[in-house]
Every structure is written in structure tokens, then in C-alpha cells.
Amino acid sequence: MEKQNINYFIYFVVVAVNLITMAAGAAFTWASPVLPKLRDHDSTVNPLGEPLTNFEESWIASIMMMGAFTGPFAAGMLSEKLGKKKALLIFGLPMTASHLICAFATTPNLFLVARFLIGIGVGGVFSVIPSYVGEISEDNNRGVFGSMLGLIAAFGQICCYAVGPLVSVRWFSLINLIPLALFYVLFGVFVPGSPYDLVRRNDQTEAERSLTKLRRRTGAQVQKELIYITETVETDSENRGSISDLFTNKSVSKAIIICCGLMVFQQCSGICAVLAYMQSIFEVSGASISPFDATIIISTISMLTNFASSMLIDRMGRKLLLAISSLIAALCMLTLGLYFFLRSAGRDTTYISWLPIMSLIAFMVAFNLGFANIPWIFLGELFPSNVKSSASTLTASVCFSLSFLITICFPFLSASLGEAGSFWIFGGVLVIGHAFILTVVPETKGKSFKEIQDMLSGTQKQIGV
């Protein structure tokens, strides 16, 4: 019996492209270690020389999401004109500029500019990578490779939590350049473009070279897949997509409802507020463990859960993991709200001082089991190539606009409703999301792009199973 060789190169490709995801993941949690420094009265700690106002703080924490809202629009145009590889290389530039500005910023306005720039990069990265990874993967490993986005983003977050509190703002900004530098070297030099993009540009020779490099297979096997890709692209080209197709084409409109719906529930779960204000949440809660230790514990568990999700997704399927994720996350938010309610009511909470960290640990475990990765995997799976760029732009824009609103509103929401009311709202949204998953979201495990489109074109009963 012939022994099957493991294709290590495809793993290298997925890790290399996701180095920019590591930088994007760190961008989401940047505010947690940096904002306490910018609030400090000590000029040796605070490069601004004086503490931020509440207004300035909320904008610095949230303006990244405004930039992330604009990123997907640029991503759609760049992916269409230049291909996904070149688009990703371009999106690394504003992220690099952001960290350089933060390293030498001495006014709040410079931090605002820097955070907006990195938001543009983050919005583009999360719009392009799911499609790129989906197109270089095979049907049997698309789930595990798609999950790497969440796993490596979580690794970027734990690095941010671990390093940020220990170094100055300047050194923290310079350290954040390391994954971007590695991305430009490893991905820019050694990784080929998407074979789908190359076929769309009628470059069959380069597409065959890309597939040969990605698959490490013989010429006949590569030719078979190249024929499939060519037929898929030609079919999509004959049915050239437009913006109106996102809402008039039956299968595409269903995919839009599924992807945008999942993004709404993902963001309205409160994840961005938790990531940006995690240290502050622990300071307010009065938990016995220090905020620094708590964030390290939670982010480590988050990364491990992302790894578990990547191992389970092609076995258990997308829908089951999402259902489990939403249900447990809802219970955690409701429990966290109960703790803050008891505390604000003047009840003695010392005997349950462990509850905030346990609730947040369970929430991060549940969120990363499904909600962190699967909506982005669907973004790369559910849309035909002729509308993928515009669909990705719309879906990612919905995601980041909600993320911006929730992040900027969370401090004011907590001030008006209290922490309890805020977390109860997040929990209620997740309960609705659980019902949405059970009734609307399809299972795409092991299915080819053509099979997924056939399923979306079928009856509503097929979609819900």
C-alpha cells in the first residue's frame, strides 16, 4: 500500500498568510493594555503627558472599527483588480504605518489617526483572507484551514495582553511590527496567488504552477483540479454578478442573510467590548485575581479553544459548533450580568468573587468554539466567485460597523444601564442568535463549492438541516 505524503507546504501557506491576522488580532485588544497607560498621570508612563478624557478614550478604543468599516470596500476593489495576494500585501501597509505612528505619538489625535489606519487594514484582512484560504484549500480541509484565522488572531491577542502591560507604549508599538515583517517575507516571497484569481485573469500557466506548488501533486492530478476551477470560473463569468444579485439571486440572497445574520449576532454578543475593556471589567468587578493575570488566563484559554475548534469543525460540522457556542455564551453573559446586579444592589459578593473570571473564561471558550471562526468560514464558502468580492464587502462592513457602535457605546451603556444591564442585553441577543442558527444556518461540512450553491438554491428545509 502506497504511503500518502503529508503536504506540509499548504500548512506553511496558511500560517504565512495568517501572520497578518495575528497583527489584526492584536489590534482588537491593543486598547486593553495601552489605555491604562494613557490614563496615567505619570509622564514617564503616559507619552501624552496628561491623562485622556473619557471622550478621547472612547474614540481611541473604537475608531479602529470605523476604519475597519471602510476596509472591506477597498478589499473588494483591490481583490477584483489585483487578486487577493496583492490586496493583502497592500493592507499590511496601513497597519505598519499605524504602529510607527503609535511609537512616536504625543497627542491623542495621532493615536486616533493610527487606530483608524490599522482599522482599514483589519477590515481588509478579514474580508480577503477567508476567500483566499477557501480557494487554496480542498473540500476535506477547508474547515480546519479556515479556522486558523481565529486561532492565530487569538495568539495575537494573548501576545498583546502578555507584552503590553510590561513595556512602554513605544516599545509595544515596535514589537507589534514583528508579525507584519514576517508576513511580508514569508507570504510575499514564498506563497503563490489564488489559482482562482489566476484563472480569472486567463493566466492558465501561472494557475497550474500555483496548484502544483500548493498541492505537491503530479501533473495529471493538478490538471483535473485546474479543469474544475476553470469550469467554475467560466460558469460564474457567464452569470456575471452585480450588486443587485446580492438581493435578487435566490442562493446569493440566502447566503447574505446567513452571513450577515451571523455577523450581527457575533458582534452583538459583546465580544469587542469584552476584549477592549477586559482589564477595566475586572477592576470594576472586584475579583480577587489581578486584571493582568485574568486577561492572560482568558486569552490563553481562548487560543486553546480556537485550536480545539479547528480540530472539530470538519468532524462535528459548522452548525453544531455554532449552536453550542451561542447557547453557552448566552448563559455566560446572563450570569455575568447577575453578578454585577448583585454587586450594584449592595449584596455581599466576596463568596462569589471567582464568578466574573469563570464567566468570562466560559464565554471566551464558547465564543471561540464557534462564533469566532465560523461566520468568516461561511464568508469564504457560501458565495460564488462572481459575487464573492461584493458579498464579502457587504458582510464585513456589517460586522465592523456594528463592532464600532458597540465598542464606542459600551462605556455609556454601562453608565446608563449598569454593567448588569449591558451584559443582559448581550445575553438576550445570543439567545435570539441560537434560534437563528437552529432554523436558518446550513451545514457545509465536506461539501464542494458547487454542492453548497446547489443546496442554497434548494428548499428552505434543506437550508435548515
Please, what sign has the CA dihedral across residues 110, 116, 119, 121? negative
Q: Residue 101: how many CA atoms within 13 Å on its side-chain side? A: 18
Residue 74 — φ and ψ, nearest 5°? -65, -35
| Cα 142–chain centre separation | 16
Question: Above 80 in pLDDT, residue 241?
Answer: no
> Is position 216 within any domain?
no
Could you please report the per-residue DSSP string of 15-71? HHHTHHHHHHHHHHHTHHHHHHHHH-S-TTT-TTSSPPPHHHHHHHHHHHHHHHHHH
Residue located via cell numbers 487606530: 115
Residue 445 in this model has a pLDDT that exceeds 90: no
SS3 243: coil
Contact 187, 208 (CB under 8 A): no
CA distance 31 to 409: 15
CA nearest to 60, candidates 25, 27, 91, 90: 27
Residue 373 lies in a domain: yes
| Tally of CA atoms within 13 A in the half-sphere of 225 that contains its CB | 23
Q: Using one digit for the tens of pLDDT, what is the confidence trace for 248-285? A: 777 888 889 999 999 999 988 878 767 666 666 666 65
Cβ contact 35:52 at 8 Å: yes
The structural domain count of the chain equals: 1
- Within a domain: 257: yes
List pLDDT tens digits, range 87-125: 999 999 999 999 999 999 999 999 999 999 999 999 999
The upper half-sphere exposure of residue 135, i.e. CA atoms within 13 Å in the direction of its Cβ, equals: 29
122-156 confidence digits (pLDDT tens): 999 988 998 899 889 887 778 788 888 888 988 89
122 inside domain: yes
3-state secondary structure of 36: helix
Q: Report whether 242 contacts 249 (CB < 8 A).
A: no
Amino acid at 255: A
3-state secondary structure 75-98: HHHHHHHHCHHHHHHHHHHHHHHH
Which pLDDT belongs to residue 22?
95
Residue 177 banded pLDDT, cuts 50, 70, 90: very high
pLDDT tier at 3 (50, 70, 90 boundaries)?
very low
Residue 453 forms part of a structural domain: yes
In percent, the amount of the chain with pLDDT more than 90 equals 34
Going by the DSSP 8-state scheme, the letter that residue 352 receives in this structure is G
* DSSP code string of 167-206: S-HHHHHHHTTHHHHHHHHHHHHHPPPPHHHHHHTT-HHH
Mean pLDDT along residues 366-393: 83
Looking at mean pLDDT, say which of 239-243, 310-314, 334-338, 359-363 comes out highest. 334-338
In 3-state terms, what secondary structure has residue 388?
Answer: helix
The predicted pLDDT at position 182 comes to 97
Q: How far apart are CA 143 and CA 141, in angstroms?
A: 5
pLDDT value at position 459?
46
Interval 77-90 mean pLDDT: 92
Q: Which triple of cell numbers denotes residue 79? A: 481583490
23-27, 200-204, 225-229, 311-315: segment of lowest average pLDDT? 311-315
- For position 238, what pLDDT does the model report? 57
Region 156-180: mean pLDDT is 93
The pLDDT value given to residue 158: 86
pLDDT at 52: 92
φ, ψ of residue 223 to 5 degrees: the values are -60, -40
The mean per-residue pLDDT over the stretch 388-397 comes to: 82
Cα–Cα distance between 25 and 354 in angstroms, integer?
27
Strand (E) or helix (H) holding 374: helix 374-381
The span from the CA of 282 to the CA of 195, in Å, is 47
- Picking from 424, 174, 165, the residue whose alpha carbon sits closest to that of residue 290 is 165
171 or 32: which leads in pLDDT: 171
Cα within 13 Å of Cα(33), Cβ side: 27
Q: How far apart are CA 449 and CA 377, in angstroms?
A: 13
CA–CA distance, 342 with 332 (Å, rounded to integer): 16
Q: How far apart are CA 382 and CA 447, in angstroms?
A: 11
From CA 93, how far away is CA 12, in angstroms rounded? 22
Tell me if 208 is assigned to some domain: no
Least confident piece of the model among 2-6, 46-50, 133-137: 2-6
The whole-angstrom separation of Cα 430 and Cα 325 is 9
Tell me what pLDDT residue 175 has. 97
Q: Is residue 228 part of a domain?
A: no
Using N-to-C axis directions, what is the helix angle for 178-190 and 19-29, rounded to 10°? 160
Q: Cα separation of 126 and 378, whole Å?
A: 12
Residue in this structure with the C-alpha cell 476593489, named with its chain if needed: 77
Here the CATH number for the domain that contains residue 89 is: 1.20.1250.20
Q: What is the DSSP letter of 155?
A: H
- Tell me the CA distances in angstroms from 92 to 88, 181, 380, one per residue in order: 6, 9, 20
Identify the pLDDT of residue 109. 95
Contacts of 313 (CB under 8 A, 6+ apart): 143, 144, 146, 147, 321, 373, 374, 377, 445
pLDDT exceeds cutoff 50 at 2: no
> Which of 51-60, 68-77, 114-123, 354-363 ranks highest by mean pLDDT?
114-123
Residue with the larger pLDDT of the pair 337 and 185: 185
Query: How does residue 464 score in pLDDT terms, banded at 50, 70 and 90?
Result: very low
Range(s) of the domain holding residue 43? 8-191+239-464
Rounded to two decimals, the pTM is 0.77
Instruction: Examine residue 380 and state whether it is found in any structural domain, yes or no.
Output: yes
Computed over every residue of the chain, the mean pLDDT equals: 84
The per-residue pLDDT for 243 is 62
